[in-house]
């Protein structure tokens, strides 16, 4: 099968990681794959180029393996030129399926594909929007709540495919050394008697980091309790969070980090305090590291997180979250073993390819 993926991001986050891992997995399975992105100098473009080069090097000697190629819309091209560029790329490659990720690609690339008679599949990384998705041939929903939001104007095929554990983070977790973990905890003045709470994500209202900081200070008000809160991420709430933390040196705001796996190893409890969470990929990564979990009852986690030991709080409820942080503080450093088999990449990739086949079969009727 010939598959073209399109994503027009500048940064590299969970949606971009999902796209490149899906594309490279499909190439390993024997498909001919191209990935269309924008801006050769962006962080997204740099990582895509590295991942695709590594995938081609790994599959070069494998019998039956496909090939993956990166196609870059020049950074100087404004949005209105993305469509003619895409039209030319699609006519050259002539894919069987075009698979877009995030709304700009659905709008600019997916519609061009449909105009050329090529089926268009979009992944709902956030939520269904009729203007962007109603005319798609197929929709991939990360959780059932997204499928439930699809309106009657959509006449394609929709399926739910849970996110998989990112391969790069899983591999990195396996390489963490006790010395790395000890060095991180030492930097936070956290010996084995200190409970380290951690959270990773964009510093924006949807992620609820402000609720987390407030809840932490309410849960441990004296200031001398053996606890730490470590937050990784950048975003528009950075200054607000520094203000909420005030002079509390137990709260560590670290910004963006090039390698996050050691931090999961150094956290005792992972906290997802989101107000809105389509799925929750960092929760999966924390589970792979064996962290205890405190999670708000948001859209994705409510569906996929069935483990008995999870401590839950309602979104935007700092008092309830503070109560669960106090409950988690006494759990110690013992790691938790989770069943991650529902989040295997092979299962997700197979489900997506099954959707492609259904759409192609429908087109032939």
What whole-number distance in Å separates Cα of residue 300 and Cα of residue 161?
A: 12
**CA-based radius of gyration for the chain:** 22
What is the C-alpha to C-alpha distance for residues 193 and 300, in angstroms, rounded to an integer?
A: 33
The pTM of the full predicted model, rounded to 2 decimals, is 0.89
DSSP reduced 3-state for 275? coil
The backbone torsions φ and ψ at residue 220, rounded to the nearest 5 degrees and listed phi first, read: -130, 70
Identify which of 221, 230, 220 has the alpha carbon closest to the alpha carbon of residue 196: 230
Whether 177 and 130 share a structural domain: no
Give the pLDDT mean for 167-188: 93
Domain assignment of residue 109, given as a range: 2-164+344-364
Q: What percent of the chain has pLDDT over 90?
A: 83
Distance (Å, whole) CA 136 – CA 57: 34
Same domain, residue pair 300 and 353: no
Confidence (pLDDT) at 64: 63
Residues 108, 186 within the same domain: no
- DSSP type of residue 113: H
Residues 88-98: tens digit of each pLDDT: 999 999 999 99
Q: Which residues, 6 or more positions from 127, have their beta carbon under 8 angstroms from its beta carbon?
A: 146, 149, 278
Q: Are residues 112 and 213 in the same domain?
A: no
Integer Cα distance of 317 and 319 in angstroms: 6
Number of structural domains in the chain: 2
How far is Cα 238 from Cα 244, in angstroms, rounded to an integer? 10
pLDDT at 304: 93
Supply 11's token pair: 């940064």
Q: Residues 116, 91: contact at Cβ < 8 Å?
A: yes
Q: What is the rounded CA–CA span in Å between residue 68 and residue 31?
A: 8
User: Is residue 144 domain-shared with residue 198, that is, in the same domain?
Assistant: no
Same domain, yes or no, for 177 and 316? yes
pLDDT score for 102 = 95
| pLDDT the model gives residue 231 | 98
pLDDT surpasses 80 at 5 = yes
- For residue 198, give the CATH number of its domain: 3.40.50.2000
Residue 60: pLDDT above 80? no
Q: Does 150 share its domain with 190? A: no
Residue 14 has pLDDT above 90, yes or no: no
Percent of the chain with pLDDT over 70: 98
Same domain? 173 vs 90? no
Residues 243 and 180 in one domain: yes
Say yes or no to pLDDT of 61 above 70.
no
What is the tens place of the pLDDT at every residue in 196-211?
999 999 999 999 999 9
Q: Express each pLDDT in 228-272 by its tens digit.
A: 999 999 999 999 999 999 889 999 999 999 899 999 999 999 999
Same domain, 45 and 81: yes
Q: In the predicted model, what is the mean pLDDT of residues 336-354?
A: 94
Q: Which residue has the tokens 């203000």?
A: 243
Is the model's pLDDT at 63 over the cut of 70?
A: no
- Residue 85: alpha-carbon gap to chain centroid: 28
The 10s digit of each residue's pLDDT in 262-280 is 999 999 999 999 999 999 9
Q: Are both 266 and 307 inside the same structural domain?
A: yes
* pLDDT band (50, 70, 90) for residue 66: confident
Confidence of residue 169 (pLDDT cuts 50, 70, 90): confident
Coil, strand or helix at 162: coil
CA distance 174 to 243: 36
Q: What does the pLDDT look like over 132-167, one tens digit per residue?
A: 999 999 999 999 999 999 999 999 999 999 999 888
At 342, which helix (H) or strand (E)?
A: none
Question: Would you tell me how many other CB atoms lie within 10 Å of the CB of residue 272?
Answer: 24
Mean pLDDT of the chain: 94
Q: Residue 311 in contact with residue 124, Cβ under 8 Å? A: no
pLDDT at res. 236? 96
- Same domain? For 291 and 309 the reply is yes
């Amino acid at each position: 099968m010939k598959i073209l993926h399109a994503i027009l991001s500048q940064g590299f986050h969970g949606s971009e990681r999902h796209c490149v891992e899906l594309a490279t997995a499909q190439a390993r399975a024997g498909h001919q794959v191209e990935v269309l992105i924008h801006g050769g100098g962006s962080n997204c473009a740099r990582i895509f180029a590295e991942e695709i080069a590594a995938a081609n090097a790994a599959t070069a000697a494998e019998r039956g393996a496909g090939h993956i190629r990166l196609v870059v819309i020049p950074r100087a091209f404004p949005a209105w030129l993305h469509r003619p560029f895409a039209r030319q790329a699609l006519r050259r490659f002539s894919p069987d399926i075009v698979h877009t990720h995030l709304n700009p690609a659905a709008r600019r690339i997916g519609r061009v594909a449909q105009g050329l008679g090529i089926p268009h599949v979009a992944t709902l990384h956030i939520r269904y929007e009729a203007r962007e998705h109603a005319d798609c041939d197929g929709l991939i929903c990360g959780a059932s709540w997204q499928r439930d939001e699809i309106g009657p104007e959509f006449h394609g095929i929709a399926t739910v495919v849970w996110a998989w554990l990112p391969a790069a983070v899983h591999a990195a977790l396996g390489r963490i050394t006790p010395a790395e973990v000890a060095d991180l905890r030492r930097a936070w003045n956290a010996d084995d008697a200190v409970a380290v709470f951690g959270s990773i994500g964009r510093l924006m209202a949807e992620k609820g980091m402000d609720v987390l900081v407030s809840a932490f200070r309410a849960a441990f008000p004296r200031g001398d309790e053996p606890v730490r809160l470590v937050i990784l991420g950048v975003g528009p709430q950075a200054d607000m969070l520094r203000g909420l933390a005030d002079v509390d040196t137990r709260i560590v705001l670290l910004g963006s980090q090039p390698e996050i796996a050691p931090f999961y190893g150094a956290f005792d409890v992972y906290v997802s305090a989101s107000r809105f969470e389509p799925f929750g990929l960092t929760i999966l990564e924390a589970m792979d590291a064996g962290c205890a979990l405190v999670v708000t009852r948001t859209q994705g986690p409510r569906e996929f997180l069935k483990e008995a030991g999870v401590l839950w709080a309602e979104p935007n409820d700092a008092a309830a979250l503070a109560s669960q942080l106090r409950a988690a503080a006494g759990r110690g450093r013992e790691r938790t073993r989770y069943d991650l088999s529902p989040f295997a990449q092979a299962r997700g990739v197979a489900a997506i390819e099954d959707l492609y086949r259904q759409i192609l079969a429908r087109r032939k009727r």
